[in-house]
Structure 1
């Protein structure tokens, strides 16, 4: 049944809890608690000869395009020591074909992806396939010959030890094999392959690589190209051997754009393991942040990756103690390899919501917001397979594939055993959704630059989010919410115009469930703002929810419930809603305070990948291993700036 709230401010909420005759669309039932009516009026409607179809002339994005901006294959030095899946295997898998994994398992996605970035590491790009094949350019180096002989001698232990030695060499100041010709050859082989698999309108093979720096502190970036191989071949992957300073990466990309006329962007990822460094208030060298550096970061890093296999980085319960959904797949014990214990003061420099708040404060100080980013999820899988679905999760790397003891496998061995990370800690996520006008490299890249994107933890729910000043309940009745959204406001990633005097921003938000995942629990709008004293604040508003629940006196909404049968790794969609939609106006708006708003959509509880694993292999896991998850989506924010 529909739900309405009215607390003295303009606040409209509707929630459809059954499919009814409307199917998988944004279907709403007529209002009963308000005077609004959907009945046809006795007014003559005259249509122009070409004005009958409501879909004609729509020039905005119609569907989200799903992809992974962070996938590794055997071309990456670390992944290549374990996986034998090639870049071509990765494309085939992403397009929906069945592949055979490194350990001989059959694997296939439930649904193909629309786009993919194979972001193999820049460091010694292509080394492992070259070593294993006896590439002449690599064997021309002394280190290459030593490693080749060790890997191919037929001694399994020696081969393993050598693989670990190769991975460890990535932490050095200089590459153990410095062979630009071999890197150029591997890079051009990759870009040529991307051209073969790129099919405009069907699948976009976006060219990219990962710049991996400060390995233990995870200041990594995925670099994405808008253009084809012709332009991408005018450069080479910029690596930590060129510089460990991300600011130098931006300068390199700036120079490349100027030389080639091409366009590139970079996506920082999983700052939750950076021990406060990802969203530092200072420049890389510790000096004061300058306007120039802030502008470069804002220009080249329009997106951030808040969720992936190594945990979720949207919010943390220490930073957001009033947010009951902040503690999701949290990794907060140490940095990436467990060499530096994390302290509470580091957390503010690691999580997306806090970074968005910091950005408001920095902008007031220097005039530029370096953290004005949108959201896009990704896997960071090192298996060559972009698997983010709970019942189809192949893990971080191919050293251990699905088998009875994968959950207890040691993923990260820290100097202090208390900081070790075991297999069950991995999250089956995430995915990136892009609202692009068509499935082409250029259209997807352009959507990323305008931040019309959202991240999910693996579910493929459809989410719309618009901001403006005159959204009303009537806009929630339409089966075409984007018509009102684009006509009356800006989409996710946009900036609100100046507020008309006496008016507060209003938002139109809609969500449709993933057909093969859980129903929807609720939609929330997260607000962050900066007060006159320079202090940042946040608040989470429930704006639409399923069922006939009502907030209690403290404003807290009761839990949606839980239908998960852990033993059988199943659940029922007898709770929750297939779709939710709301028009909401900020009841606490202050026109003098800069602010951002983003939507978070929460599914009902469903089985986690560990529950599927326990069921399939008949194993029991200790109580500390979570068996239930709540998939969610995070939209890119919409910003308000006074004046």
Structure 2
């Protein structure tokens, strides 16, 4: 059954989709660290204020969990002169001068930031700039220093990278030196952390890439500097095995009483290793591995400058939106990617494999929420297409930046990836009560967070058994959602007889961006035969389009992009889309997940803005426009 209501004012559409309504009582709706206590809601003595006892997250806070400054070797040694202080000031909305000498500013400030400089060679460019004796004491350090000081920046970068990062000839083995740099980074975070106004998380990146397969993780601490300073960052020099990183994280918590998690990223450069069902040492993953991974890695970076990682057309041939900014040629070493690797690199494939492993092990190792981040090495967290300052400082805006390579092809086998193929992505929205380290970190840990490709659209979903189709219209939509089910990142268990999963969804456009095209539910499940399945449901369509029998909006939203002017208009699409949906193919015995993908109307790609600004022809093979999108953390169903 399909019921659609369109209100008499522009920009708002609402859809109800269901396979028949059943309103019996009962069932479980549970989530890790449930975000509102039912005991907090008054049931006995009525009070006038409807907000007494209300404790659920009521705001989305925007931030970037993966930004590099000049303290990262592959940022500072390729021209980034901006340290953590400039990164925080920029994120707070201040105008700064980029390393390329250009002024730059965000359209709106961010609410929080993780400066995630590489643990490996931490602060080397800063030490070179200071001519630190520790750098000059070794041959490789002195050579890198002299090249850098002469202005031969890329030669300095290659010299350090080949000798230290690749060959492991690391001259910076003095723990006191590492500690002094680490404490500088912490002090910057402490100085900029303003509880209630702006959150500066303490963190870093562990940059493992065995055989060129990217297994990098960003490590994010919940704590203040007094605890973070009790340890040194765990680097891939110490081990390139994520299981050893987890042991270090456990040691950090035991030693300090603090809290920490890690966010894996760049699965599309891992050549199938990121979500492998074998450990790095080659053994089949077991329940202990699954428990450790699920505990220490609650999130996954689904989109960033080095390609989008939500879906792939090879894996999802029936998904017309899966072919979006995929990086699928190889790994860092130029090893050509094989088709069988793809399922172990992309969000949707990994979530499905997780269901399969959960049935085998009793624990789902790939039960992660979704985040977006920039991985920018410019100290500038820019994500808008018209304000894209690139991934590294050598490729900041300019008429010749398109030709630079991001991923090399040493054997010339077709694995090169170029600057024009990077994307402006991404951002992370976190549903929280407060803008503090503790509140935001807790929300991330329980997966109440979502990824976008750079837009700041507001998206919220709830899953339960007893929602009514009118609940999505309620002004207390969120309170109703929490009391009747779980938010994104939550778990539904043991479906009551005759009940099916019901989802409520709201999506609101970025106030500084484009209208919305549609809202989609992506369902993945493990069927009774043990096979993995997926299906996409369009559940809300803008511009009065109906949902057809193929579960898709009736026709495309249209396109207002003027390529010659790098512009678009919002006279198509809707500002707000809402939907109620009941799973028409629900089977109480089958494990499943549901997440929401929201698409904006077409807008110009950053290369189109560049082409107009610099008077260039568009690069061959790159689309002139694209559709920004958001991906929510899933809601899981477990029999």
- Per the normalisation by structure 2, the TM-score is 0.92
Instruction: Select which of 405, 409, 430 maps to 2:404.
Output: 409
Aligned to 2:30: none
Instruction: Select which of 125, 131, 134 maps to 2:131.
Output: 134
Q: Deviations over 1:280-311 (max 9, x none)?
A: 01111111111111111100000000100011
Give the direction of change, closer, same or farther, for the CA distance of 1:309–1:302 in structure 2 (3 Å limit): same
* TM-aligned CA deviation for residue 230 of structure 1: 0.6
* TM-aligned CA deviation for residue 630 of structure 1: 0.3
Residue 165 (str. 1) matches residue 162 (str. 2):
no
Aligned to 1:426: 422
* Partner Cα distance (2:98, 2:370) in 1: 30
* Partner Cα distance (1:333, 1:27) in 2: 40
Instruction: Select which of 305, 312, 317 maps to 2:313.
Output: 317
* Partner Cα distance (1:542, 1:346) in 2: 28
Aligned to 1:69: 65
Aligned to 2:344: 349
Instruction: Select which of 254, 265, 268 maps to 2:264.
Output: 268
Aligned to 2:573: 576
* Partner Cα distance (1:17, 1:295) in 2: 51
* TM-aligned CA deviation for residue 315 of structure 1: 0.6
Q: Deviations over 1:57-110 (max 9, x none)?
A: 431111110000000011001111121111111011001011101111001110
* TM-aligned CA deviation for residue 163 of structure 1: 2.2
Which runs of structure 2 are paired with 1:94-493 in the superposition (5 Å)?
94-152=91-149, 154=150, 156-157=151-152, 159-168=153-162, 169-214=164-209, 216-337=212-333, 339-415=334-410, 416=412, 418-493=414-489
Equivalent pairs, count? 611
* TM-aligned CA deviation for residue 498 of structure 1: 1.9
* TM-aligned CA deviation for residue 186 of structure 1: 0.3
Q: Is the 8 A contact 1:17 1:577 kept in 2?
A: no
Give the direction of change, closer, same or farther, for the CA distance of 1:622–1:474 in structure 2 (3 Å limit): same
What CA RMSD, in Å, does the superposition of the two structures yield over aligned residues?
2.2
* Partner Cα distance (1:516, 1:280) in 2: 40
* Partner Cα distance (1:96, 1:15) in 2: 38
* TM-aligned CA deviation for residue 270 of structure 1: 1.6
Residue 609 (str. 1) matches residue 603 (str. 2):
no
* Partner Cα distance (2:614, 2:330) in 1: 31
Structure 1 SS opposite 2:578? strand
* TM-aligned CA deviation for residue 492 of structure 1: 0.4
* TM-aligned CA deviation for residue 18 of structure 1: 4.4
Q: Is the 8 A contact 1:95 1:112 kept in 2?
A: yes
Where does structure 2 lack aligned partners over 5 or more consecutive residues? 21-42
* Partner Cα distance (2:4, 2:235) in 1: 49
Structure 2 SS opposite 1:324? coil
Structure 1 SS opposite 2:194? coil
Q: Deviations over 1:461-486 (max 9, x none)?
A: 00001000011221122233212111
Which segment drifts farther, 372-381 or 516-525?
Answer: 516-525
Aligned to 1:543: 539
* Partner Cα distance (2:460, 2:442) in 1: 18
* Partner Cα distance (1:442, 1:251) in 2: 22
* Partner Cα distance (1:411, 1:28) in 2: 42
Where does structure 1 lack aligned partners over 5 or more consecutive residues? 7-11, 21-25, 35-46
Aligned to 2:510: 514
Structure 2 SS opposite 1:305? strand
* Partner Cα distance (1:360, 1:30) in 2: 28
Aligned to 2:631: 634
Give the direction of change, closer, same or farther, for the CA distance of 1:488–1:49 in structure 2 (3 Å limit): closer
* Partner Cα distance (2:421, 2:537) in 1: 29
* Partner Cα distance (2:360, 2:586) in 1: 22
Q: Is the 8 A contact 2:135 2:171 kept in 1?
A: no
* Partner Cα distance (1:417, 1:621) in 2: 25
